[in-house]
A = this chain, B = another copy of it.
Amino acid sequence: MSELVLAIDIGGTSMKGALVDRQGHLSSRFVVPVVPGEEQESALDRLIASAKESLQSLSEGDRVIGIGCGVPGGINTFTGVCDYASNLGWKNLPVARILSDKLSLPCKIDNDANAAMLGEIQFGQEKAYRNAILLTLGTGIGGGIFVNGQLYVGNEGKGAEIGHMVIVAGGIPCPCGRKGCFETYASATALTREAKKAVEAHPESLMAEEVRKGVKIDAALPFECAKKGDEVAQQVVDQYIEYLGVGCLNLIDIFRPEVIVLSGGVSKQGENLRQPLERYLEKFGYGFGVDKAPKVDVKISRLGADIGIYGAAALGFSIGE
């Protein structure tokens, strides 16, 4: 007999779910699309209908002990309410209570990046880290902070907004109202923006040639063209690594974690991302305190696109702990 949790990963375009056991095996997966403009309660109703089907497919002897759910937005972890999720248009939605009532199971929700951090610790690493930072390099930069063997979420769960740490005072304006935030320089969006600029400025580059052939400009393009020897693309990558490095060194100086794990779209570049970043960190002795300050592991998450599901599963298993 296995104990399972229902793991739900709510994103900007779809809501994904699965049953997950303590070993990290996924079963009965489902995907529910997000319908722009839909009332928040009916979005949850559609999610609940799919979740019920998933729960009915349970093997004999298995038991679901709770629900974990990651939501992209501001979550009050004390009350289980989604205060706001701009991408979904949700506001003041008591997600934990609704899921719990309709599915008759205890439920825990958290911000998706915080959940991903827990998932990474529980399912992504062979080593049992007590202090770790997770960076999700996607549309923005999400962050998860694991300190003293616990997830750190700050007052009302509103901390760990690592993407909004300013690294260039007075720099590029961020929708959050500040200028020069880490995510305006080191997210997939930022990398794509800089690649576009380089393509316009350098029509002779391989990147520009690829674009004329119909290739889409995204975060992967500069990495791929740099591999083929395109100097313009290499410069875009180098600059990106430098900004990513500045942010990582800040986090290292503040937290001196044992590991920094990279996830999200840009992390698909694997060693082509990890190795130059590690070289940059080594150049500065992994931040302040060169003299004997302990090295920080830099890893790419192996959970890939399922990190959100694993995160929700870890939340589910943490109920009652």
Chain A residues within 8 Å of B, Cβ to Cβ: 74, 76, 83-84, 131, 143, 145, 147-148, 150, 152-156, 158-169, 171, 176-178, 181, 185, 242-243, 246, 249-250, 253-258, 284-285, 287-294, 296
Contact = CB atoms under 8 A, between A and B. Distances in A.
Contacts of A177: 284-285, 288, 290
A254 B178 CA distance: 14
A159 B260 CA distance: 14
A161 B254 contact: yes
Contacts of A76: 292
Nearest to A74: B289
A154 B249 contact: no
A84 to B, nearest CB: 5
A103 to B, nearest CB: 27
30 contacts: A74-B289, A74-B291, A74-B292, A84-B291, A84-B292, A131-B154, A147-B147, A147-B152, A155-B256, A155-B258, A155-B294, A158-B289, A158-B293, A159-B257, A160-B256, A161-B253, A161-B254, A161-B289, A164-B253, A165-B250, A165-B253, A165-B254, A167-B167, A167-B169, A168-B168, A168-B169, A169-B243, A177-B290, A178-B284, A178-B288
